[in-house]
């Protein structure tokens, strides 16, 4: 028995040894299978160890469960852009409409409401026709002084509509030298063109009831902000104003152009043009000296160059002689123009306002953009205003450009207020002639 078992036992290195080794550490339920003797034929003694392992019975081990890797998302989220990371939360720039509404109320509004309430109370015991008439009038008074539409009170819009219907709104401009004076007289009634002596000879000046203005052409497109320029002339409060006019045409082949306008404000102590010309001459001399020291020399425009500049900026050159004012547009021939007040511009720092001007001029190709910023000396600090004018061949192009520029302006806290009913005034405020939007 023992001899038979020894004869049946595999020799060292035989396949049975490998099979026995594989049973080590196997649970008892599987060990009976692994312990069964394996009979090897004599001809199979020359098998290699690898062949023996293949011939040995396989033991089913409990396989470890491997989870498949998670599938990548179909639309992976894009990494946040720099603008998205640096953008402030929406709640930070959210305005309180109730607070803004209350800030625009004044004593006249409250007085009108009191009159309306008193009229209704006194008419309670009156006959029915009297009560109805007074109630309707009181309701109309409250609506005119309490309802705002597009940033204006209803009473203001009524006054604008009355002025819009009463004034002349279209004209056929003459040719050649008389075109610009006729245009200025339409935009600002009583505005004339005259000549003023400067250090470089005679220069063109525009005279109207607001004062006298001279235009300077800087040798660089980068000019200081009007608030900084106003401090260079050291004028008395309420005597001077400065405008910077930035213009980019439809074809953006080169950098935007810029002009300066120095304005002497007409006052009681200086009512005549001769008195204003003396103030203007001294102010222009001091400003030119300061600009030259800062590396931005400028020179006054002669009368011929000044007329050509105003005609080009107003888009009345090239045979466009028919001008007309609509409620929402100013039209010169086939060109549609719209003007907007840049409300809140006085809160911008000079450096930030310069960057915003560059964005407004280059953001919408195919549309002519004019940005005019004005500063006037005041008793405490300069008063700063801004005007935007868009010009294109179609109204749709103007509206599309407006939507794009309004987003960029809102990012800086500026709101574009359309000058409906006063487009002529807006065009005049966008030209370097010393007219201010407010």
Q: Where are the alpha helices (DSSP H) in 14-79?
A: 15-22, 28-34, 49-55
Mean pLDDT of 393-407: 95
Q: Supply the pLDDT for residue 432.
A: 96
Q: Supply the pLDDT for residue 90.
A: 39
Q: Supply the pLDDT for residue 359.
A: 94
Query: What is the reported pTM?
Result: 0.72
Q: What is the pLDDT of residues 215-264, one digit of tens each?
A: 999 988 788 899 888 887 766 667 899 999 999 998 877 788 999 999 99
Q: Supply the pLDDT for residue 78.
A: 46
Token pair listed for 49: 């160890």
423 and 390 Cβ atoms separated by less than 8 Å: no
The more confidently predicted of residues 75 and 195 is: 195
Q: What is the pLDDT of residues 92-108, one digit of tens each?
A: 345 677 888 888 888 99
Specify the residue for token string 């036992």.
Answer: 9
Q: Return d(Cα 260, Cα 229) in angstroms, integer.
A: 10
Mean pLDDT of 112-120: 93
Q: Supply the pLDDT for residue 180.
A: 94
**Does the pLDDT at position 22 exceed 90?**
no
**Does the pLDDT at position 49 exceed 70?**
no
Q: Supply the pLDDT for residue 99.
A: 84
To the nearest whole number, what is the mean pLDDT of the chain?
80
**Does the pLDDT at position 5 exceed 90?**
no
pLDDT above 90 as % of the chain: 50
Confidence band (pLDDT; 50, 70, 90) for 88?
A: very low
**Does the pLDDT at position 75 exceed 80?**
no
Using alpha carbons, select from 295, 299, 241 the residue that is nearest to residue 266: 241
**Does the pLDDT at position 192 exceed 60?**
yes
241 and 374 Cβ atoms separated by less than 8 Å: yes
* DSSP β-bridge partners for residue 148: 153
Token pair listed for 113: 């409401």
Lowest mean pLDDT among 90-94, 345-349, 409-413, 434-438: 90-94
Mean pLDDT of 118-122: 92
Q: Supply the pLDDT for residue 13.
A: 40
Q: Supply the pLDDT for residue 318.
A: 84
Q: Does domain 170-430 have CATH number 3.40.462?
A: yes
Specify the residue for token string 């009463």.
Answer: 166
Q: Supply the pLDDT for residue 152.
A: 81
For the chain, domain boundaries? 2-55, 103-166, 170-430
The more confidently predicted of residues 86 and 296 is: 296
Mean pLDDT of 284-293: 90
How open is the CA angle 348-352-356, to the nearest 5 degrees? 100
Q: Supply the pLDDT for residue 31.
A: 40
Q: Supply the pLDDT for residue 360.
A: 95
**Does the pLDDT at position 402 exceed 90?**
yes
* DSSP β-bridge partners for residue 339: 389
Lowest mean pLDDT among 86-100, 275-289, 379-393: 86-100
Nearby residues of 51 by Cβ (< 8 Å), 6 or more positions away: 15
Specify the residue for token string 């304005």.
Answer: 263
Q: Supply the pLDDT for residue 299.
A: 92
Q: Return d(Cα 245, Cα 371) in angstroms, integer.
A: 6
Q: Supply the pLDDT for residue 412.
A: 93
| C-beta atoms surrounding 288 within 10 Å | 23
């Amino acid at each position: 028995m023992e001899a038979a078992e020894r004869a049946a036992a595999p020799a060292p290195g035989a396949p049975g040894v490998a099979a026995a080794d594989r049973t080590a550490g196997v649970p008892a339920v599987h060990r009976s299978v692994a312990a069964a003797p394996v009979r090897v034929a004599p001809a199979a003694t020359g098998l290699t160890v690898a062949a023996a392992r293949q011939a040995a019975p396989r033991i089913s081990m409990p396989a470890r469960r491997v989870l498949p890797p998670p599938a990548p998302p179909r639309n992976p989220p894009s990494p946040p852009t720099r603008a998205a990371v640096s953008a402030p939360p929406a709640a930070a720039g959210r305005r309180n409409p109730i607070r803004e509404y209350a800030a625009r109320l004044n004593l006249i509004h409250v007085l009108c409401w009191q009159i309306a309430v008193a009229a209704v109370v006194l008419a309670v015991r009156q006959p029915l026709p009297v009560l109805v008439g007074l109630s309707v009038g009181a309701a109309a008074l409250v609506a005119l002084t309490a309802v705002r539409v597009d940033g204006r009170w209803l009473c203001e819009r009524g006054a604008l509509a009355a002025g819009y219907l009463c004034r002349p709104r279209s004209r056929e401009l003459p040719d050649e030298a008389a075109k610009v004076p006729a245009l200025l007289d339409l935009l600002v009634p009583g505005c004339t063109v005259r000549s003023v002596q400067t250090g470089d000879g005679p220069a063109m000046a525009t005279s109207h009831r607001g004062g006298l203005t001279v235009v300077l052409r800087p040798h660089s497109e980068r000019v200081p902000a009007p608030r900084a320029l106003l401090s260079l002339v050291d004028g008395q409060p309420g005597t001077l104003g400065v405008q910077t006019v930035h213009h980019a045409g439809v074809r953006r082949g080169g950098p935007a152009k810029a002009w300066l306008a120095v304005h002497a404000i007409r006052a009681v102590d200086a009512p005549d043009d001769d008195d204003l010309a003396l103030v203007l001459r001294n102010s222009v001399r001091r400003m030119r000296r300061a600009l030259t020291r800062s590396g931005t020399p400028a020179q006054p425009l002669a009368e011929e160059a000044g007329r050509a500049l105003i005609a080009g900026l107003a888009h009345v050159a090239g045979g466009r002689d028919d001008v007309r004012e609509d409620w929402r547009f100013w039209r010169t021939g086939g060109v549609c123009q719209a003007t907007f007040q840049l409300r809140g511009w006085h809160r911008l720092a000079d450096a930030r306002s310069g960057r915003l001007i560059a964005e407004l001029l280059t953001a919408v190709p195919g549309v002519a953009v004019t940005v005019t910023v004005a500063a006037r000396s005041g008793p405490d600090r300069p008063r700063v205003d801004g005007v935007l004018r868009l010009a294109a061949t179609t109204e749709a192009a103007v509206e599309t450009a407006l939507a794009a520029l309004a987003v960029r302006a809102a990012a800086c806290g500026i709101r574009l207020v359309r000058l409906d009913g006063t487009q002529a005034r807006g065009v005049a405020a966008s030209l370097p002639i010393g007219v201010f939007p407010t």
